[in-house]
Amino acid sequence: MYRLSGISLPSNDACVKHRIMVGYSAVHAQEKFTESYRFENMTFTFDCSNRAVGFYADPEYDCQIFHMCNGDGKRIPHVCANETSFNQEFRICDWEYNFDCSQAEKWYYLNELTYMTDSSQDEDIVE
C-alpha cells in the first residue's frame, strides 16, 4: 500500500518503478499507476446510474477522487495528483483552499449542460 494525499492505494504488479513527489514531501513509491489501474481494494458508493456523461467529485474521498461517468452508466474513477482535489464547479483538479468539497454535489448539474444545445438554434438549421 502507498499513501498519497491521505488516500491509501494498493500496489499494482504491472507498474513501472518511479518516485512520486507529493507537495513538500517526497513519497518513495516503487511503482507508477497505469491507466489500467482498477482501484481493486477501494469501495465506492458513488453510482453513475441516471447521471449525465461527465466528471463527478467523490465527497466520500474528500474530492481527491473523481469519477467519469460514460454514456453506458459505467463509472471510471480517477485520482487528483499532488495533493489536489476535484473542483466540481470547474471540473479540474485544484488546490483545496480554492473550493469547498462539501458543496460538490451542488455543481453536478453542470455535467448535464455540457452537451446541451439551444433548441431555437436547432430549428434554424435547414437540411
Q: What are phi and psi of 75, to 5 degrees?
A: -100, 130
Residue 8 has pLDDT above 60, yes or no: no
* Sheet order of strands, 54-57 included: 54-57, 65-69, 75-79
Residue 22 has pLDDT above 50, yes or no: no
Query: How confident is the model at residue 126, as a pLDDT?
Result: 60
- Give the HSE-up count for residue 63: Cα atoms under 13 Å, Cβ half-sphere: 27
Instruction: Output 7 or 28, whichever has higher pLDDT.
Output: 7
Q: What are phi and psi of 65, to 5 degrees?
A: -115, 140
Percent of the chain residues past pLDDT 70, beyond the cut? 63
Percent of the chain residues past pLDDT 90, beyond the cut? 54
| Mean pLDDT (whole number) for 104-115 | 94
This prediction has a pTM of: 0.64
Residue 109 has pLDDT above 70, yes or no: yes
Residue matched to cell numbers 499532488: 82
Residue 75 has pLDDT above 60, yes or no: yes
Residue matched to cell numbers 474530492: 63
Query: How confident is the model at residue 23, as a pLDDT?
Result: 36
Q: CA-to-CA distance for 9 and 4, rounded, in angstroms?
A: 7
| Mean pLDDT (whole number) for 23-28 | 37
Q: CA-to-CA distance for 57 and 19, rounded, in angstroms?
A: 26
Cell matching residue 105: 454535489
